[in-house]
Chains A and B, each alone.
Chain A
Amino acid sequence: MANDPIHQFQIQKLFPIEVGGMDFSFTNSSLFMVLTVAAASAFLIFTTSGRGLIPSRMQSISEMAYEFVAGMLRSSAGTEGMRFFPLVFSLFMFVLVANLLGMFPYFFTVTSHIIVTFMLAMLVISTVVIYGLMRHGAKFFHLFTPAGVPSALLIIVAPIEVVSFLSRPISLSVRLFANMLAGHITLKVFAGFVVSMGAAGAVGTAGAILPLGMTVAITALEFLVAFLQAYVFTVLTCMYLNDALHPSH
Chain B
Amino acid sequence: MAGNAEQTNTELHIPADEHGAGFPPFDSSTFASQILWLAITFGLFYWIMKNVAVPRIAGILEDREDRIAGDIAEANRLKQETDEAIAAYEQALAEARAKAHGIAQDTRSKLKADQEARREKAEADLNKKLIDAEAQIAKVKSEALDQVGDIASETTSALVEALIGKAPTKTDLNKAVKSAMN
Q: Which residues does A use to contact B, with CB under 8 Å?
A: 6, 9-11, 17, 22-27, 29-30, 33-34, 36-37, 40-41, 44-45, 48, 51-53, 55, 59, 62-63, 66-67, 85-87, 89-90, 93-94, 110, 112-116, 119-120, 123, 177, 181
* Minimum distance in angstroms from A102 CB to a CB of chain B: 13
Interface residue from A24, A44, A115, A123 paired with B57 (Cβ < 8 Å): A44
Interface of B is mostly: helix
Interface residue from A11, A30, A55, A94 paired with B45 (Cβ < 8 Å): A94
CA distance A165 to B25 in the complex (A): 25
CA distance A23 to B52 in the complex (A): 33
Interface of A is mostly: helix
Interface extent on B, as a size class? Answer: 35 or more
* Minimum distance in angstroms from B21 CB to a CB of chain A: 12
The A-contacting residues of B in range 79-93, CB under 8 angstroms, are none
B42 and A120: CB pair below 8 A? yes
Q: Which of B37, B46, B63 has the most CB of A within 10 A?
A: B37
B45 and A40: CB pair below 8 A? yes
CA distance A112 to B32 in the complex (A): 16
Q: Could you list 14 examples of A-B contacts with CB < 8 Å?
A: A6-B22, A10-B24, A29-B34, A30-B37, A40-B45, A41-B48, A41-B52, A63-B61, A66-B57, A86-B54, A90-B50, A94-B45, A114-B26, A181-B25
* Minimum distance in angstroms from B112 CB to a CB of chain A: 71
Q: Which residues of A contact B50 (CB under 8 A)?
A: 86, 90
Q: Which residues of B contact A67 (CB under 8 A)?
A: 61
B53 and A41: CB pair below 8 A? yes
CA distance A55 to B60 in the complex (A): 9
Q: Which residues of A contact B32 (CB under 8 A)?
A: 22-24
B44 within 8 A of A: yes
B31 and A115: CB pair below 8 A? yes
Which residue of chain A has its CB nearest to the CB of B44? A37
B46 and A90: CB pair below 8 A? yes
B36 within 8 A of A: yes
A24 and B36: CB pair below 8 A? yes
A66 and B30: CB pair below 8 A? no
CA distance A34 to B40 in the complex (A): 9
Which residue of chain A has its CB nearest to the CB of B45? A37
B67 within 8 A of A: yes
B33 within 8 A of A: yes
Q: Which residues of A contact B46 (CB under 8 A)?
A: 86-87, 90
Q: Which residues of B contact A110 (CB under 8 A)?
A: 38
Please provide the 8 A-B residue pairs with the shortest distance between their CB atoms, ordered closest to farther.
A30-B37, A86-B50, A33-B41, A9-B24, A44-B53, A37-B45, A11-B30, A66-B57
* Minimum distance in angstroms from B90 CB to a CB of chain A: 39
* Minimum distance in angstroms from A1 CB to a CB of chain B: 11
Which residue of chain A has its CB nearest to the CB of B63? A53
A27 and B49: CB pair below 8 A? no
Interface residue from A6, A30, A44, A90 paired with B33 (Cβ < 8 Å): A30
